[in-house]
Structure 1
Amino acid sequence: MKSRQNGFTLVEIAVVLVIVGLLLGGVLKGQELIDSAKVKNLAQDFRTTQMLIHAYQDKFRALPGDDRRAVAHLCPSGVSDCTTAGNGDGVLGGNWDDDDGSEAARFWQQVRLANLASGPVDTGDAAYIPRNAAGGRIGIQRGGSGAPLGLTGSHVICSA
């Protein structure tokens, strides 16, 4: 009489462990690729914001948000309230995440009115402050007293 043994053989357990290991490795590598893509997209958001500054300066010889002639540059003929002019001191007043009428908040309105970026120009719109690749907000403000090499008029692109 032969005895029947119940359970799994060592080979069967080894095969299952190999399959689980391969699946786990694939999932982790996939997550790494997703995270890498997010980082690249965030860096692109920052480069795009720099490009908007340079394009606006090339077009109007002023800093968007701080442009003292913004109404003349951006508002259609006969319309004087499409934006508010800045003081033209070369510095963006306000914080990067302001929703009010600060120069930092008007930055987005003025680059959009100049047709350099898409998005709503109404500062009261929920989508007015743009979102970064990770879904957080992105903005710009003046560099603090600890600006690199003491550059005056330097600006910092921020994201949360």
Structure 2
Amino acid sequence: MSRQSGFTLVEIAIVLVIIGLLLGGVLKGQSLIDNAKIKNVIQQATSLQAAVNAYQDRFRALPGDDPLATTHVPGATGNGNGDGQIAEYQLAPQHLALAGLITGSFNGTTDFMTSAHGGAVYIFNDAVGGRSGNGIRFDNLPDTYAAELDAKLDDGKPDSGAVRATGPYTNNGTIITRTAIFF
């Protein structure tokens, strides 16, 4: 007569506890990665706003809108119209880079910056969430990132304040088409 052997309840419980700890560690690790990306996006927004302010202080014009950019920053491929609106958004990163205020090489026509999440970043005069004006626009951020950005820099509401979004913060991973920080 053969005797069957199997796992005891204690052994099964220990395995389940180990699996739970592993899953908890993976989820916590993902949370740490997401928080680092959010902090990177916030740091990028703060740095870009400081660069725009420095450019404006130095040249008395906004990057991208500077009517004398080819004189102010040799190598610029174009000038803005000087109307106070950064509608010439493709020139803005080039003007900032040539002035030494941001890093990168921009051709002034098709280049854009990218966020820590991988979406496009523009310095732009735009309308987002019922407000328009000059600002920094992040495209295709998950709503959780946009909500955190808004909570840390403004009032946490997608349709009021200086940080606006094209959709609500549902915290379910929905992609927000545009999130803008107006200055």
TM-score by length of 1: 0.77
Q: State the partner residue of 1:41.
A: 40
Equivalent residue letter for 1:158: R
Deviations 1:75-129 (A, max 9, x none): 2xxxxx7321111111111xxxxxxxxx11100111111111111132367xx31
Unaligned runs of 5+ in 1: 76-80, 94-102, 149-153
Compute the displacement of 1:62 (Å). Answer: 0.6
Structure 2 residue corresponding to 1:118, chosen from 87, 103, 113: 103
Equivalent residue letter for 1:68: P
Q: State the partner residue of 1:86.
A: 80
Give the number of the structure with larger relative contact order, counting CA–CA contacts within 8 Å between residues 6 or more apart: 1
Percent of counterpart pairs with the same letter?
49
Q: Is structure 2 residue 85 aligned with structure 1 residue 106?
A: no
In structure 1, how many angstroms separate the alpha carbons of the residues matched to 2:57 and 2:14? 64
Instruction: Give the number of equivalent residue pairs.
Output: 138
Compute the displacement of 1:52 (Å). Answer: 1.2
Structure 2 SS opposite 1:121: coil
Q: State the partner residue of 1:137.
A: 120
In structure 2, how many angstroms separate the alpha carbons of the residues matched to 1:67 and 1:36? 36
Q: Is structure 2 residue 42 aligned with structure 1 residue 59?
A: no
Unaligned runs of 5+ in 2: 140-183
Q: Which of the two has greater strand per residue?
A: 2
Q: What RMSD in Å do the two structures reach over aligned CA positions?
A: 2.1
The structure number with the bigger radius of gyration is 1
